[in-house]
Amino acid sequence: MKAIAILTSGGDAPGMNAAIRAVTRSALNRDIAVFGVREGWQGLIDDRMTRLNARDVGGIIQIGGTFLGSARSKEFREESGRSKALRNLATRGIDALVVIGGNGSQTGSAALHGLGFPVVGVASTIDNDLFGTDVTIGCDTAINVTLEAIDNLRTTGSSHTRAFLVETMGRNCGYLAMMAGLAGGAEVISTPELEVSAFEIAERLRAAYDRGKTHAIVVIAEGVKENVARILAHFEKDRDMVGFELRATVLGHVVRGAPPTAFDRLLATRLGVAALTSLAEGVSGVLVGEQRGEITRTPLAEIAGRTKPISTSLIDLARVLAQ
Protein backbone atom coordinates (compact mmCIF):
# COMPACT_ATOMS: atom_id res chain seq x y z
CA MET A 1 0.00 0.00 0.00
CA LYS A 2 1.57 3.27 -1.14
CA ALA A 3 -1.13 5.90 -0.62
CA ILE A 4 -4.41 6.33 1.22
CA ALA A 5 -7.08 9.05 1.30
CA ILE A 6 -9.09 10.21 4.33
CA LEU A 7 -12.43 11.94 4.34
CA THR A 8 -14.93 13.09 6.96
CA SER A 9 -18.57 12.91 5.99
CA GLY A 10 -22.08 13.68 7.29
CA GLY A 11 -22.62 15.75 10.42
CA ASP A 12 -19.32 16.81 11.97
CA ALA A 13 -18.47 15.44 15.41
CA PRO A 14 -16.00 16.58 18.11
CA GLY A 15 -12.94 14.35 17.79
CA MET A 16 -12.95 14.06 14.00
CA ASN A 17 -9.77 16.15 13.83
CA ALA A 18 -8.08 13.86 16.36
CA ALA A 19 -9.05 10.88 14.18
CA ILE A 20 -7.64 12.51 11.00
CA ARG A 21 -4.42 13.21 12.90
CA ALA A 22 -4.15 9.60 14.10
CA VAL A 23 -4.80 8.06 10.68
CA THR A 24 -2.34 10.46 9.00
CA ARG A 25 0.49 10.00 11.47
CA SER A 26 0.18 6.22 11.61
CA ALA A 27 0.20 6.06 7.78
CA LEU A 28 3.24 8.34 7.55
CA ASN A 29 4.99 6.12 10.11
CA ARG A 30 4.65 3.27 7.64
CA ASP A 31 5.81 5.43 4.69
CA ILE A 32 2.32 5.55 3.23
CA ALA A 33 1.35 8.85 1.54
CA VAL A 34 -1.85 10.52 2.76
CA PHE A 35 -4.39 12.57 0.81
CA GLY A 36 -6.96 14.65 2.73
CA VAL A 37 -10.24 14.93 0.83
CA ARG A 38 -12.19 18.19 1.24
CA GLU A 39 -15.88 18.05 2.17
CA GLY A 40 -16.57 14.34 2.21
CA TRP A 41 -17.86 12.25 -0.67
CA GLN A 42 -18.54 15.34 -2.75
CA GLY A 43 -14.86 16.33 -2.57
CA LEU A 44 -13.93 12.83 -3.76
CA ILE A 45 -16.26 13.17 -6.75
CA ASP A 46 -14.89 16.65 -7.54
CA ASP A 47 -11.27 15.52 -6.97
CA ARG A 48 -10.62 18.08 -4.24
CA MET A 49 -7.79 16.59 -2.21
CA THR A 50 -4.31 17.52 -1.07
CA ARG A 51 -1.33 15.69 0.39
CA LEU A 52 -1.13 15.79 4.20
CA ASN A 53 2.11 15.69 6.15
CA ALA A 54 2.67 15.35 9.89
CA ARG A 55 2.67 19.13 10.42
CA ASP A 56 -0.65 19.60 8.57
CA VAL A 57 -2.36 17.66 11.35
CA GLY A 58 -0.50 19.37 14.22
CA GLY A 59 -2.37 21.55 16.72
CA ILE A 60 -5.82 20.18 15.82
CA ILE A 61 -6.41 17.44 18.42
CA GLN A 62 -8.26 19.87 20.71
CA ILE A 63 -10.42 21.51 18.03
CA GLY A 64 -14.04 20.45 17.33
CA GLY A 65 -15.42 20.00 13.82
CA THR A 66 -13.23 18.76 10.97
CA PHE A 67 -10.56 20.81 9.23
CA LEU A 68 -11.14 18.77 6.06
CA GLY A 69 -14.75 19.95 5.96
CA SER A 70 -17.79 17.70 5.70
CA ALA A 71 -20.92 17.45 3.57
CA ARG A 72 -23.86 15.23 2.74
CA SER A 73 -23.54 14.32 -0.97
CA LYS A 74 -26.60 13.40 -3.06
CA GLU A 75 -24.37 12.73 -6.06
CA PHE A 76 -22.49 9.93 -4.28
CA ARG A 77 -25.78 8.05 -3.87
CA GLU A 78 -25.88 7.72 -7.68
CA GLU A 79 -23.77 5.15 -9.49
CA SER A 80 -22.33 7.90 -11.73
CA GLY A 81 -21.04 9.79 -8.64
CA ARG A 82 -19.37 6.68 -7.24
CA SER A 83 -17.74 5.94 -10.63
CA LYS A 84 -16.27 9.47 -10.73
CA ALA A 85 -14.90 8.98 -7.21
CA LEU A 86 -13.28 5.67 -8.20
CA ARG A 87 -11.70 7.25 -11.29
CA ASN A 88 -10.17 10.06 -9.18
CA LEU A 89 -8.76 7.58 -6.67
CA ALA A 90 -7.21 5.49 -9.45
CA THR A 91 -5.72 8.52 -11.26
CA ARG A 92 -3.96 9.61 -8.09
CA GLY A 93 -2.68 6.13 -7.33
CA ILE A 94 -4.60 5.87 -4.06
CA ASP A 95 -4.90 2.30 -2.78
CA ALA A 96 -7.40 2.66 0.06
CA LEU A 97 -9.78 5.08 1.76
CA VAL A 98 -10.58 5.83 5.43
CA VAL A 99 -14.05 7.27 6.03
CA ILE A 100 -14.69 9.01 9.36
CA GLY A 101 -18.42 9.44 9.87
CA GLY A 102 -21.77 8.09 11.00
CA ASN A 103 -24.59 6.04 9.53
CA GLY A 104 -25.07 7.65 6.12
CA SER A 105 -21.33 7.94 5.59
CA GLN A 106 -20.65 4.28 6.38
CA THR A 107 -23.49 3.23 4.09
CA GLY A 108 -21.50 5.08 1.41
CA SER A 109 -18.35 3.26 2.52
CA ALA A 110 -20.12 -0.09 2.10
CA ALA A 111 -21.25 0.90 -1.40
CA LEU A 112 -17.74 1.89 -2.52
CA HIS A 113 -16.20 -1.20 -0.96
CA GLY A 114 -18.85 -3.27 -2.77
CA LEU A 115 -17.38 -1.94 -6.04
CA GLY A 116 -14.03 -3.49 -5.12
CA PHE A 117 -12.21 -0.51 -3.58
CA PRO A 118 -10.66 -1.04 -0.10
CA VAL A 119 -12.46 1.16 2.47
CA VAL A 120 -12.30 1.21 6.28
CA GLY A 121 -14.84 3.19 8.29
CA VAL A 122 -14.20 4.97 11.61
CA ALA A 123 -17.30 5.29 13.81
CA SER A 124 -18.00 8.98 14.38
CA THR A 125 -21.32 10.71 15.08
CA ILE A 126 -22.77 12.55 18.06
CA ASP A 127 -25.86 10.32 17.73
CA ASN A 128 -24.13 7.03 18.74
CA ASP A 129 -26.53 5.12 16.51
CA LEU A 130 -24.04 2.96 14.58
CA PHE A 131 -24.08 -0.82 14.81
CA GLY A 132 -20.62 -2.36 15.30
CA THR A 133 -19.56 -0.08 18.13
CA ASP A 134 -20.70 0.66 21.68
CA VAL A 135 -19.63 4.25 21.35
CA THR A 136 -18.91 6.72 18.55
CA ILE A 137 -16.45 9.63 18.35
CA GLY A 138 -18.19 12.87 19.37
CA CYS A 139 -20.95 11.41 21.47
CA ASP A 140 -19.26 11.94 24.85
CA THR A 141 -18.62 15.63 24.10
CA ALA A 142 -22.20 16.13 22.92
CA ILE A 143 -23.55 14.51 26.11
CA ASN A 144 -21.36 16.75 28.28
CA VAL A 145 -22.33 19.96 26.47
CA THR A 146 -26.01 18.99 26.69
CA LEU A 147 -25.55 18.20 30.37
CA GLU A 148 -23.99 21.59 31.04
CA ALA A 149 -26.97 23.26 29.37
CA ILE A 150 -29.38 21.17 31.47
CA ASP A 151 -27.55 22.10 34.69
CA ASN A 152 -27.65 25.79 33.78
CA LEU A 153 -31.33 25.68 32.88
CA ARG A 154 -32.11 23.94 36.16
CA THR A 155 -30.37 26.72 38.07
CA THR A 156 -32.27 29.54 36.40
CA GLY A 157 -35.44 27.43 36.46
CA SER A 158 -35.14 27.12 40.19
CA SER A 159 -34.84 30.90 40.64
CA HIS A 160 -38.11 31.44 38.76
CA THR A 161 -40.09 28.25 39.51
CA ARG A 162 -40.00 27.33 35.85
CA ALA A 163 -39.98 24.10 33.90
CA PHE A 164 -37.78 23.81 30.81
CA LEU A 165 -38.35 21.75 27.70
CA VAL A 166 -34.87 21.02 26.31
CA GLU A 167 -34.61 19.62 22.78
CA THR A 168 -31.45 17.73 21.83
CA MET A 169 -30.18 16.50 18.47
CA GLY A 170 -30.25 12.82 17.65
CA ARG A 171 -32.38 12.40 14.54
CA ASN A 172 -33.71 8.80 14.84
CA CYS A 173 -31.93 7.77 18.04
CA GLY A 174 -32.57 9.07 21.55
CA TYR A 175 -29.18 8.12 23.03
CA LEU A 176 -27.95 11.69 23.49
CA ALA A 177 -31.21 12.82 25.10
CA MET A 178 -31.34 9.72 27.28
CA MET A 179 -27.75 9.93 28.58
CA ALA A 180 -27.82 13.69 29.20
CA GLY A 181 -31.29 13.43 30.74
CA LEU A 182 -30.25 10.65 33.11
CA ALA A 183 -27.02 12.43 34.10
CA GLY A 184 -28.90 15.70 34.55
CA GLY A 185 -31.64 14.19 36.71
CA ALA A 186 -34.38 15.22 34.27
CA GLU A 187 -37.95 14.84 35.45
CA VAL A 188 -39.02 13.55 32.03
CA ILE A 189 -37.02 12.11 29.10
CA SER A 190 -38.80 11.57 25.81
CA THR A 191 -37.04 9.71 22.99
CA PRO A 192 -38.23 7.86 19.87
CA GLU A 193 -37.71 4.61 21.83
CA LEU A 194 -39.64 5.79 24.92
CA GLU A 195 -41.92 8.56 23.77
CA VAL A 196 -43.88 10.46 26.41
CA SER A 197 -47.08 12.21 25.27
CA ALA A 198 -47.73 15.91 25.92
CA PHE A 199 -50.58 14.86 28.19
CA GLU A 200 -48.29 12.68 30.31
CA ILE A 201 -45.59 15.35 30.40
CA ALA A 202 -48.20 17.77 31.77
CA GLU A 203 -49.22 15.24 34.42
CA ARG A 204 -45.65 14.59 35.53
CA LEU A 205 -44.80 18.28 35.67
CA ARG A 206 -47.94 18.98 37.69
CA ALA A 207 -47.04 16.17 40.10
CA ALA A 208 -43.50 17.56 40.50
CA TYR A 209 -44.90 21.03 41.13
CA ASP A 210 -47.38 19.69 43.69
CA ARG A 211 -44.51 17.88 45.46
CA GLY A 212 -42.92 21.28 45.98
CA LYS A 213 -40.24 21.25 43.29
CA THR A 214 -39.00 24.65 42.22
CA HIS A 215 -37.86 23.52 38.79
CA ALA A 216 -38.32 20.70 36.32
CA ILE A 217 -36.44 19.58 33.23
CA VAL A 218 -37.98 17.74 30.30
CA VAL A 219 -35.42 16.45 27.79
CA ILE A 220 -36.86 15.75 24.36
CA ALA A 221 -35.00 14.08 21.50
CA GLU A 222 -35.39 15.72 18.14
CA GLY A 223 -36.78 12.53 16.57
CA VAL A 224 -39.95 12.18 18.69
CA LYS A 225 -43.37 12.69 17.12
CA GLU A 226 -44.62 14.92 19.93
CA ASN A 227 -41.82 17.48 19.66
CA VAL A 228 -41.26 20.77 21.49
CA ALA A 229 -43.53 22.80 19.18
CA ARG A 230 -46.42 20.35 19.60
CA ILE A 231 -45.98 20.15 23.35
CA LEU A 232 -45.99 23.95 23.64
CA ALA A 233 -49.15 24.08 21.50
CA HIS A 234 -50.74 21.51 23.82
CA PHE A 235 -49.92 23.58 26.92
CA GLU A 236 -51.06 26.78 25.23
CA LYS A 237 -54.70 25.69 25.73
CA ASP A 238 -54.30 25.62 29.48
CA ARG A 239 -51.26 27.46 30.78
CA ASP A 240 -51.94 26.57 34.42
CA MET A 241 -52.10 22.83 33.90
CA VAL A 242 -48.46 22.22 34.82
CA GLY A 243 -48.13 24.67 37.71
CA PHE A 244 -44.71 25.84 36.55
CA GLU A 245 -44.14 28.63 34.11
CA LEU A 246 -42.84 26.93 30.97
CA ARG A 247 -39.90 27.79 28.68
CA ALA A 248 -38.28 25.90 25.80
CA THR A 249 -34.66 25.71 24.64
CA VAL A 250 -33.60 23.96 21.43
CA LEU A 251 -29.89 23.13 21.69
CA GLY A 252 -29.41 22.04 18.08
CA HIS A 253 -25.94 22.39 16.55
CA VAL A 254 -24.44 24.02 19.67
CA VAL A 255 -23.53 20.59 21.01
CA ARG A 256 -21.87 19.53 17.77
CA GLY A 257 -19.29 22.31 17.60
CA ALA A 258 -17.66 21.93 21.02
CA PRO A 259 -13.99 21.05 21.64
CA PRO A 260 -13.70 17.27 22.14
CA THR A 261 -13.49 15.83 25.65
CA ALA A 262 -10.48 13.72 26.66
CA PHE A 263 -12.60 10.61 26.09
CA ASP A 264 -13.41 11.58 22.50
CA ARG A 265 -9.80 12.55 21.71
CA LEU A 266 -8.55 9.20 23.00
CA LEU A 267 -11.27 7.18 21.28
CA ALA A 268 -10.57 9.02 18.01
CA THR A 269 -6.85 8.39 18.37
CA ARG A 270 -7.31 4.69 19.07
CA LEU A 271 -9.83 4.17 16.26
CA GLY A 272 -7.78 6.23 13.78
CA VAL A 273 -4.69 4.09 14.40
CA ALA A 274 -6.83 0.92 14.31
CA ALA A 275 -8.20 1.88 10.87
CA LEU A 276 -4.69 2.14 9.46
CA THR A 277 -3.60 -1.11 11.15
CA SER A 278 -6.56 -2.86 9.59
CA LEU A 279 -5.64 -1.61 6.10
CA ALA A 280 -1.97 -2.51 6.64
CA GLU A 281 -3.05 -6.04 7.58
CA GLY A 282 -5.01 -6.26 4.35
CA VAL A 283 -8.42 -6.09 6.06
CA SER A 284 -10.89 -3.64 4.52
CA GLY A 285 -14.67 -3.41 4.15
CA VAL A 286 -14.97 -3.03 7.93
CA LEU A 287 -15.99 -0.41 10.47
CA VAL A 288 -13.54 0.01 13.33
CA GLY A 289 -15.32 0.57 16.61
CA GLU A 290 -15.07 -0.25 20.30
CA GLN A 291 -17.10 -3.02 21.89
CA ARG A 292 -16.74 -4.00 25.57
CA GLY A 293 -13.52 -2.01 25.76
CA GLU A 294 -11.87 -3.76 22.80
CA ILE A 295 -11.23 -2.39 19.33
CA THR A 296 -13.36 -4.38 16.88
CA ARG A 297 -13.85 -4.68 13.11
CA THR A 298 -17.38 -5.22 11.84
CA PRO A 299 -18.18 -5.80 8.14
CA LEU A 300 -19.58 -2.61 6.60
CA ALA A 301 -22.22 -4.71 4.85
CA GLU A 302 -23.63 -5.63 8.29
CA ILE A 303 -24.03 -2.07 9.52
CA ALA A 304 -25.00 -0.20 6.34
CA GLY A 305 -28.43 1.43 6.41
CA ARG A 306 -29.21 0.33 9.97
CA THR A 307 -29.85 2.53 13.01
CA LYS A 308 -28.84 1.12 16.40
CA PRO A 309 -31.55 1.72 19.02
CA ILE A 310 -30.72 2.59 22.64
CA SER A 311 -30.20 -0.42 24.88
CA THR A 312 -33.21 -1.66 26.80
CA SER A 313 -31.28 -1.30 30.08
CA LEU A 314 -31.15 2.48 29.57
CA ILE A 315 -34.85 2.58 28.80
CA ASP A 316 -35.53 0.59 32.01
CA LEU A 317 -33.35 3.00 33.98
CA ALA A 318 -35.32 5.98 32.68
CA ARG A 319 -38.59 4.26 33.63
CA VAL A 320 -37.39 3.60 37.19
CA LEU A 321 -36.18 7.15 37.69
CA ALA A 322 -39.26 8.84 36.24
CA GLN A 323 -40.93 9.45 39.60
Binding-site residues for ATP, please?
A: 11, 72-73, 102-105
Site membership for ligand F6P, residue 81 (CB under 6 A)? no
CA 278 to chain centre: 23
Site membership for ligand F6P, residue 204 (CB under 6 A)? no
| Identity of the residue numbered 323 | Q
| Residue span binding ligand F6P (CB under 6 A) among the ranges 80-88, 121-129, 153-161, 300-308 | 121-129
CB of 85 vs ligand F6P, minimal distance in Å: 21
Q: Which is nearer to ligand F6P, 114 or 259 (CB)?
A: 259
Residue stretches of the annotated binding site for ADP = 21-25, 154, 185-187, 211, 213-215
Q: Which is nearer to ligand F6P, 139 or 279 (CB)?
A: 139
CB of 170 vs ligand F6P, minimal distance in Å: 5
How far is it, in rounded angstroms, from Cα 107 to Cα 73? Answer: 12
H helical segments located in the chain? 16-29, 40-45, 79-91, 103-114, 139-160, 175-183, 198-210, 228-236, 262-280, 300-303, 312-321
Site membership for ligand F6P, residue 39 (CB under 6 A)? no
Site membership for ligand F6P, residue 64 (CB under 6 A)? no
Q: Which is nearer to ligand F6P, 33 or 314 (CB)?
A: 314
How far is it, in rounded angstroms, from Cα 197 to Cα 195? Answer: 6
Of the candidates 256, 265, 297, 308, which one interacts with ligand F6P according to CB under 6 A? 256
DSSP secondary structure string, 34-52?
A: EEEETTHHHHHHTT-EEEE
**Residue 17: partners with Cβ closer than 8 Å, 6 or more residues away:** 57, 60, 61, 63, 64, 65, 66, 67, 260, 268
For 162, list phi and psi in degrees, rounded to 5: -120, 155
CB of 255 vs ligand F6P, minimal distance in Å: 8
Contact 165, 157 (CB under 8 A): no
| Residue 19 CB neighbours (<10 A) | 33
Q: Which is nearer to ligand F6P, 173 or 202 (CB)?
A: 173
Residue stretches of the annotated binding site for substrate = 125-127, 162, 169-171, 222, 247, 253-256
Residue stretches of the annotated binding site = 11, 21-25, 72-73, 102-105, 125-127, 154, 162, 169-171, 185-187, 211, 213-215, 222, 247, 253-256
Binding site for ligand F6P (CB under 6 A): 10-11, 102, 125-127, 169-171, 222, 256
